Structure 1
Amino acid sequence: MKAVALTEFGEPEVLSGQELEDPLVGPDVVLVEVRAAGVNPVDAMIRRGYLQSAYPHHMPLIPGWDVAGVVRAAGPAVTGYQSGDEVIGYVRKDHVQNGTYAELVAAPERTLAHKPRSLDFPQGAGLPLVGLTAVQTLHAARTGQGDVVLVHAASGGVGHIAVQVAFAMGAARVIGTASERNHDFLRELGAEPMTYGERLPERLAEIVGGDGKVDVALDFVGGQALRDSPSVVRRPERHVSVLEPDTVLSQGGRYVFVRPNTQHLTWLGELADNGQLRVEVQQTFPLERAAEAHGVLEDGHVRGKLVLTAD
């Protein structure tokens, strides 16, 4: 099969097109013909070798944990999918090697869900990691009816989904930080935008009113935003971050590292099909231009998602 892989860690240029063996299909594994693969910050971290202390890595290494495609074959223990089904998945495995930047991916059944009818393949590939992260951080913060939610980096991949999922979980208001050029985008999603920068707690208090605090704070950017979170949330255990685990845990908050979950992914698909969830894809790239996509990703300020397409 054709794939984009790396044989050494480094800058985006280490990614190159390669001809590799087709993946094996185990008893509980689904072989997916890839139509699109999402590009996420964790892919760049893997490319640079930053996750070597967390997972065994093997070369040649195909990055990518997000996929949308069509089932080619299914192992004998698979019960939920058959050839021809359109699926999406967050295909994170215990070893880092056989990712989704390829023509074919062997996906454990537990990592997949049926593709929502309302999403095309690029949108479908853009949903799994960010969607699951949004759901799982909001669950960790026990988000519910009437809550006021603050989302840091609200126009990014995870952030723009978290805004919408928060409303689906019953939030009364969602306030999102973003650069000014993305404020109208956040308003389209129903959020109240505010800019990044200094004096965030004071500026937030002016927007929120009352005691100036929110019920839930979600951090998807780290740094100063994370350091500000304990001072703007009413109860420290209801602020959650996907970055800097030592910091957020020392603050009394929660750290989330996203996990595959078919039930969560299926629910996100239902939200999309019901018109409650929009997946913003800023740009698509042919698979062979994965290095260019990584360059755009690392330049920052991506609105929504970047996606590779295999056709």
Structure 2
Amino acid sequence: MRAVRLHEHGGPEVLRYDEVPIPEPGPGEVLVRVHAVGVNPPDWYLRDGLTNLPPETRPKFSLPVIPGTDLSGVVEAVAADVDGLSVGDEVFGLLRFPSFDGSTYAEYVVAPASDLALKPAGIDHVHAAGAPMAGLTAWQFLIELGHDHPSPFQAAQHRPVPLGANMTVLINGAAGGVGHFALQLAKWKGARVIAVASGAHESFLRELGADEFIDYTKSRPEELVHDVDLVLDAVGGPDSKRFLRTLKRGGSQFPVFFGEFDEEETVKLGVTVTGTQVRSNGAQLAELGRLLDAGTVRVAIDSTFALADARAAHERAARGHIQGKIVLTVA
């Protein structure tokens, strides 16, 4: 089969289109013929050698490695001990995360059956492949954590805040993969949503249900907004702390990518900062799948590239301002 592999770390040019053996499923696994692959930030973190992660949080891996975690495809073979999945089933999933052993940039992938859900019949493989990591990140931050594994970035377990009609949620990076799912899930729960993104995304985010839009290239959200109940910062990082001043006392901030916060400041403001690390979860993905099937939540596709053109997909990602998801298609 053909697969994209990394033999060394570096820029998009190190992604190589190789011939490799088709893997065989072990206990608890199925073989999936891949139709589409979602592209996610951990794919380029791996390509770069995980240099942006603290050394103690870096998963172990060895080169050459096939990147990728998200897929949509069709079950080709099933281990004898697997129940609930059959040859011919259309499935989607986030594989083996937070390890980097998903290996989805390939024509065939072996997947733990517990990481998969049946693909919603109402959407195609491209849209299904765009959902797992970004959708489960939004779900585990906002709706239900779904596991008791500790986060490598904080001692306390993350606890989502119950969302409802009396809540105002600010979402920074609202047009990206996690952001556009978070916006739709918050609206599903009845919250009022303030979306922060660049101006080009305003009509897209209002279509998804944003009640208010802030173009961060023209205004500073932290100077315009006050007394919100929850900030979900899908960008995160060192600048995330600027959103603390938008929160009311008792409010919470969820940085998706770990940030730098002063505990003294958060105590003084009376706010909570908490996050988690997304984990594979087929059962939660099935719940999200029902919302996708009903049209309650939709997957926006920024662009698609053939698997052989993974380099171009990573170059697109590096340019930023992504609206929804980048997806690789497998012939």
Is this a same-fold pair by TM over 0.5? yes
CA contact (8 A) 2:4 2:16 kept: yes
- Residues 1:300 and 2:320 are matched in the alignment: yes
Counterparts of 1:237 and 1:8, CA distance in 2: 44
Q: Which residue of 1 aligns with 2:24?
A: 24
Q: Which residue of 2 aligns with 1:207?
A: none
Counterparts of 1:94 and 1:258, CA distance in 2: 7
Aligned-residue offset at 1:246:
5.1
- Residues 1:283 and 2:284 are matched in the alignment: no
Q: Deviations over 1:101-122 (max 9, x none)?
A: 0001111112111101111000
Aligned-residue offset at 1:286:
0.4
Aligned-residue offset at 1:129:
0.3
Counterparts of 1:214 and 1:117, CA distance in 2: 37
Aligned-residue offset at 1:263:
2.2
Aligned-residue offset at 1:234:
2.2
* Aligned length, in residue pairs: 303
Q: Secondary structure at the match of 1:161?
A: helix
1:109 alignment partner, one of 110, 113, 125: 113
Q: Which residue of 2 aligns with 1:200?
A: 221
CA contact (8 A) 1:73 1:83 kept: yes
CA contact (8 A) 1:226 1:248 kept: no
CA contact (8 A) 1:237 1:254 kept: no
Aligned-residue offset at 1:202:
2.2
Pair 225,165 (structure 1): closer, same or farther in 2 beyond 3 Å: farther
Counterparts of 1:111 and 1:263, CA distance in 2: 8
Let me know the Cα RMSD of the aligned residues: 1.9
2:208 alignment partner, one of 142, 165, 189: 189
1:128 alignment partner, one of 124, 127, 132: 132
Q: Which residue of 1 aligns with 2:41?
A: 41
CA contact (8 A) 1:200 1:228 kept: no
- Residues 1:309 and 2:329 are matched in the alignment: yes
Structure 2: gaps spanning 5 or more residues: 144-158, 267-271
Q: Which residue of 2 aligns with 1:222?
A: 236
- 1:1-311 matches, cutoff 5 A: 1-50=1-50, 53-93=57-97, 95-97=99-101, 99-139=103-143, 140-146=159-165, 147-171=167-191, 173-191=192-210, 192-197=212-217, 199-204=220-225, 212-223=226-237, 226-235=240-249, 238-245=252-259, 247=261, 251=266, 252-311=272-331
Q: Secondary structure at the match of 1:3?
A: strand
Structure 1: gaps spanning 5 or more residues: 205-211
Counterparts of 2:254 and 2:101, CA distance in 1: 29
Counterparts of 1:101 and 1:277, CA distance in 2: 26
Counterparts of 1:97 and 1:60, CA distance in 2: 12
CA contact (8 A) 2:238 2:259 kept: no
CA contact (8 A) 1:236 1:253 kept: no
Q: Deviations over 1:171-203 (max 9, x none)?
A: 1x1111011011011110110211115532221
Aligned-residue offset at 1:154:
0.3
Aligned-residue offset at 1:158:
0.8
CA contact (8 A) 1:213 1:234 kept: yes
Q: Deviations over 1:267-310 (max 9, x none)?
A: 11111111211100011100000011000001101100100000
Q: Which residue of 2 aligns with 1:208?
A: none
Q: Secondary structure at the match of 2:170?
A: strand
- Larger mean Cα displacement after TM superposition, 53-62 or 84-93: 53-62
CA contact (8 A) 1:58 1:96 kept: no
The answer to which structure has the higher helix fraction is 1
Q: Deviations over 1:233-269 (max 9, x none)?
A: 2246621111125538784411221111122211111
Counterparts of 1:20 and 1:95, CA distance in 2: 21
- Larger mean Cα displacement after TM superposition, 252-261 or 47-56: 47-56
